Amino acid sequence: MNKQQTTFGQVAEDYIQWIKSNRTERFWKTQERILREDVLPAIGDVPISNGIGILSDNMHSALSLPLEKLEQGLRAVNAVNAVLGWSLKYAPYLYVRSNAI
């Protein structure tokens, strides 16, 4: 039995739509840019049920960046954390519990 799992990218897209209505323009434009340019190309296809793995892998990748790119990597980690936190707070049944193994 191969159940279709929700991906991090699908949740991130819903998060982007939510922040456009609930946060300042500057905040959502920054978050959207970070997610679309830095995060989604790398982990957009990962199942959201692997949330802790997504965050730890992303943090490890960010910390191994050269110093001049470290800030960018940490911003990506913060954006991933925001998406995961949002999915737990605002849509836990839709994303997390429905994808539990």
pLDDT per residue of the chain (101 residues) written in tens, 0 to 9? 335 788 889 999 999 999 999 999 999 999 999 999 989 988 888 888 776 677 677 666 766 667 777 788 888 889 998 998 898 888 765 655 444 54
Whole-structure pTM value: 0.78
Query: Would you state the pLDDT for residue 23?
Result: 94
CA 52 to CA 3: how far, in whole Å?
20
CA gap 69, 82 in Å, rounded? 20
For 48, residues 6+ apart whose C-beta sits below 8 A from its C-beta are 5, 6, 7, 8, 10, 11, 54, 84, 87, 95, 96, 99
What local confidence, expressed as pLDDT, does residue 36 receive? 95
